[in-house]
Structures are given as C-alpha cells and as structure tokens.
Structure 1
C-alpha cells in the first residue's frame, strides 16, 4: 500500500491549474506552506483540497495529517474503495508522484527497492481521499485504493486512486457515484522510475 508520496508543487501552479475546474479555491486558514516535500509519510501533514463546508460550490485548500488511528491503534492511511458508496468527506490529495516498494532487487540487499509513479502528461495530479475528524488527532485524511491497473500490478497488488484534472470536480461532488471514479488506470497512464 502507498505509504509515501511527494508534493513539489508551487502554490501558484496549483492555483492556476485548479482554475481549469471553474471551482473557486479559497484558503480558510491562510495560504498554506507549500515548501517542496520530496516525501511525506504516514502521520505527517500535507495539503488537501475539499469542498467548502459553508459553500459546497467552492473548494478549500487546508493542511491536514495523513492517517487517523484505527480501532487497534494502527494508522488508517489507505482505505479500500471497492464496493463502497463513498459520499461524505471526499477530498483530493495533490501530489506529483507516489511511491511503492518491492523486495530488494540486489541479492543480499536489506533495503526495499523504491519506485516513483507519475501521471503521464501532468506536472501534478490528485489522489482521491477521505477526511474525517478523529478525537485523538483532529481532522485527518486517508488515501483511497482500488485494484491495480497494468502499470502498478507488477509492483503491488493495490493502487491509490489517481484522478486527472477532468475528474477533480466530480470527486468533490457527492452526487457523482464514487464507484465511477475509484477505478484503476489503463495501461500507459503512469510512468515508473526507480529512485533512491
């Protein structure tokens, strides 16, 4: 499961690209710190975009924690979308890549091999997520997963739900059935590169 992603997106670029949705984007907590994150991990904070609670036709960019504690205390950082009707708490997690890890390629190596995945033709994209309030950590989000597409299948048995720009507005609209959007990507949608 995805437990690390990167967000090296300047705020100006995010605002400009988001403008293509036609949905006003506001900053209820002030403009967030968009310092480049080569890798953010579970329990760390990053920006998310969600429908504004007081104006659902608008969106807001806020900074929140990745994962909330599950019933046994383990962090809920990935959440299966399969067969679920997801209406409340939808959010988008802006990233420029996400990482998966496989068994070491070199014999005797101890560290796993790290692979970066990027959406073809885009400087950045969004991962579909859900946010909620947790009594222990406040508002937090999780990334949604689905069965892997052909680009991911050689590396992992699941993939995060990757949404291109044409899907962002639909994901924030609770009237659009989540099952229409939480699908694996077709072959050739993602580039993969070994990193680290």
Structure 2
C-alpha cells in the first residue's frame, strides 16, 4: 500500500505533466489525493519542493541505466544498444517525464535545468564520450552532442505527440505493439549510424 507521500508524488506528477508547473496548484494535488491542502505541508514544504521531488524521482529512474552502462567494464556498441533499449522502455513506462520536461522547456519550472543536466551530463564526461563515439562516430566531434540531443528528442517527442499519431498509426501509440516497433526503429537507427562493425 502506498504512503500518503507517494500518493502525493503520483498525483503531482500527473498534474505537472498535464498542466505544467505554473498551472498546477497544491489544491489540485490535494483534491486528487483526497486530502486537505494543509496536509500536503506535512510532506512537502511548498509547491517548488514538491515539483523538485517529482522531477528528481523521474530522473533517478532514467539515470541508473546510463550510469550502469558508463561504469561497466567496456563501453561497447552492444552496451550502448542495451542502454538505448532500456531508455525507450523507460520512456514508455514513464510518459509523464517527457511531458513534464516539455512543459518546463516551454514555460519553466524551478531547478528543472539543473536536474535534467544531471541526467544528460554523464554522456559528456570521459566515459560518456566513449559511448558517443560508439553511437555517433560522425567524424566531426562537434556534432556528437547534437546527435545525443537529437536522439533524445526522437524518443521524448514520440510520447508527447502520441495523441496526434494515433489515427496515422491506426493503433494506440502507447500499446505494447507500438512500443516494440518504436524500440526496433530506435535500435535500427542507432545501428545504421554506428555501422556493422565496432568503431575503434
């Protein structure tokens, strides 16, 4: 059984993802949870603290597979592809993350930039650069950060735009079948860029 704090985080995550930070009130969250607004302060000191906890919880889910890959014995094409597959599935399991980040990018939210940097920054340290070279051996090193951003955008925009794709795909874009097809597409794209052989 979930604690009250977990129920608050779940409700806040849904609302922040649907409406954005500014348009969501603590009263909205309390109504969904079924408690009085003052009770929220027993768990979170204000809306900013609640929002930060929501984003932190989401980022921690995505951060672990990246660290796991980068701290492995070898950053190989195989490990990069396994990481990508995990990330696609994480996005499907946590669609609120892409929606929440989109709201933050368009209309703001406290500390979102710093929190997202924590998720992305490891790709730009020494081991992260090895992964970039495996994934995007583009010749021009200056292109690699843009390639990482582009791949991230492909995965995230699929979920934020999914309601518009439903009729075009003639299936539920959140279905298990669509998930498998999107995962296959991302991996084929990565394999195409990397080429059939390991890059040195």
Higher helix share: 2
TM-score (norm 1): 0.27
Higher strand share: 1
TM-score (norm 2): 0.27
Structure number with larger C-alpha Rg: 2
